[in-house]
């Protein structure tokens, strides 16, 4: 068997083991199933939701119509179907959640691996910078950034991505230090591997499992943060997002007049998605971190 084939067999076997361990965690499996369903709904939304009916002028229903035939979850202040709004909102919420988590994890991994690899003076400076970012309160910082920049989805992604990375950086740095202490790194160095080679080919693959679990947990946080910013009126006014729907419901007086079908669905959607990501993340953490695995 060639070397590459051997490596692939080994990787496949490890992956199968992980999959089996993940399947053993019922909460994680349930979270994954719910997520798959929601992602599918978000992707296929244009097939069964008419985008024109979601504009303020093209709405088909009456104002604040209670749930009934034609509108399973009633209508909002402009006569739009709340169910359609929530389904459409999943697109923005998931996009922002994934992209923001990706930005912050990429940044955190880069800083963490570099700070762990160059453990001396330069690594320390990097970690001081990280500490300083960690001190800045994430919500306040994100609110400030979203207020400073133009109101768009990109702004929200940047605001969340820039404020959420220090945690990842710390986790990754700790893992990098642990990996760098192992003999195969020394072997790679002795064979002439440079800094970049060691970081990319040896440290990164060993750090990635931790990063993966971290990402999943971060997506939940990012989705909550996006909803928060949209609720505070800092989101893109032209797009439909869950936080934005709640803000509109509040502004339209749904709270005082008891129009529950306008306010409850988007909140439940946020909670379900965030919970699913958290369950998946915890299950992944348990699978990929042997120390956690043996005690569960």
Partner 1 sequence: MAASESTRTGRSAAGTLPRRGRPGLHPAVRYLGGRVLTALVSLLAVMVTSFFLFRVLPGDPVSALTQGRSVSVEQLEAMRRDFGLDQPLPQQFADYCLGMLTLDFGMSYQYRVPVADLIAERIGPTLLLAGTGTVIAAILGLVLGTRAGWRRGSLMDRVDTGIALALWSVPSFWLGLLLIVLLASGVGLFPTSGMSSPGVEGTFAVALDVGHHLVLPVATMVAVVYAQYMMIMRSSVLDEMGSDYLTTARAKGLRDSLVLRRHAVPNALLPTVTLIFLNLGRVVSGVILIETVFAWPGLGSLFYSGLRVPDLPIVQALFVVFAGSVILMNLLADLVYPLLDPRVRT
Note the residues at the interface with partner 1 (CB under 8 A): 27, 131-132, 134-140, 143-145, 147-148, 150, 167, 170-171, 174, 220, 224, 227-228, 231-232, 243, 246, 250, 255-256, 258, 260, 263-264, 266-267, 270-272, 274-275, 278-279, 282, 295-296
Q: How far is the CB of 79 from partner 1 (least distance, A)?
A: 22
C-alpha–C-alpha distance, residues 13 and 169, integer Å = 29
What crossing angle do the helices spanning 153-180 and 138-148 adopt, rounded to 10°?
A: 140
What crossing angle do the helices spanning 260-288 and 26-48 adopt, rounded to 10°?
A: 130
Nearer to partner 1, 33 or 52 (CB): 33
Q: How far is the CB of 166 from partner 1 (least distance, A)?
A: 9
Nearer to partner 1, 38 or 171 (CB): 171
DSSP-derived letter for residue 55 is S
Nearer to partner 1, 59 or 285 (CB): 285
Q: Residue 80 in 3-state DSSP?
A: coil
Q: How far is the CB of 156 from partner 1 (least distance, A)?
A: 15
User: Which residues have a Cβ under 8 Å from the Cβ of 4 and sit 6 or more positions away?
Assistant: none
Other beta carbons within 10 Å of 272:
15
Q: How far is the CB of 270 from partner 1 (least distance, A)?
A: 5
**Contact present, 238 and 51 (Cβ < 8 Å):** no
Other beta carbons within 10 Å of 275:
15
Nearer to partner 1, 57 or 150 (CB): 150
Nearer to partner 1, 59 or 288 (CB): 288
**Contact present, 165 and 198 (Cβ < 8 Å):** no
Q: How far is the CB of 185 from partner 1 (least distance, A)?
A: 21
User: Which residues have a Cβ under 8 Å from the Cβ of 202 and sit 6 or more positions away?
Assistant: 179, 184, 185, 188, 193
Nearer to partner 1, 99 or 142 (CB): 142
Nearer to partner 1, 86 or 198 (CB): 86
Q: How far is the CB of 146 from partner 1 (least distance, A)?
A: 10
User: Which residues have a Cβ under 8 Å from the Cβ of 241 and sit 6 or more positions away?
Assistant: 89, 92, 93, 96, 226, 227, 230, 235
Q: How far is the CB of 139 from partner 1 (least distance, A)?
A: 6
């Amino acid at each position: 068997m060639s070397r590459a084939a051997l490596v692939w067999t080994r990787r496949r076997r490890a992956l199968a083991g992980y999959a089996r361990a993940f399947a053993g965690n019922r909460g994680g499996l349930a979270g994954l199933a719910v997520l798959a369903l929601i992602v599918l709904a978000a992707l296929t939304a244009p097939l069964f939701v008419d985008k024109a009916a979601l504009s303020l002028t093209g709405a088909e229903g009456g104002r604040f119509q209670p749930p009934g035939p034609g509108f399973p979850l009633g209508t909002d202040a402009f006569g739009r179907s709340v169910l359609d709004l929530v389904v459409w909102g999943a697109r923005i919420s998931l996009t922002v959640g994934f992209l923001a988590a990706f930005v912050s994890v990429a940044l955190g991994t880069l800083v963490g691996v570099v700070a762990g690899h160059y453990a001396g003076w330069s690594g320390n400076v990097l970690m001081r910078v990280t500490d300083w970012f960690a001190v800045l309160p994430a919500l306040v910082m994100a609110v400030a950034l979203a207020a400073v920049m133009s109101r768009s989805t990109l702004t929200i992604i940047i605001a969340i991505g820039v404020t959420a990375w220090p945690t990842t950086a710390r986790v990754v740095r700790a893992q990098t230090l642990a990996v760098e202490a192992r003999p195969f790194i020394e072997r790679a160095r002795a064979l002439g591997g440079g800094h970049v080679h060691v970081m990319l080919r040896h440290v990164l693959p060993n750090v990635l499992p931790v990063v993966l679990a971290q990402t999943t947990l971060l997506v939940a946080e990012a989705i909550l943060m996006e909803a928060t910013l949209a609720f505070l009126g800092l989101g893109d006014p032209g797009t439909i997002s869950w936080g934005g729907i709640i803000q509109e419901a509040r502004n339209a007086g749904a709270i005082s007049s008891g129009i529950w079908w306008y306010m409850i669905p988007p909140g439940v959607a946020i909670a379900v998605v965030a919970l699913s990501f958290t369950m998946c993340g915890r299950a992944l953490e348990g699978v990929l971190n042997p120390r956690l695995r043996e005690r569960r």
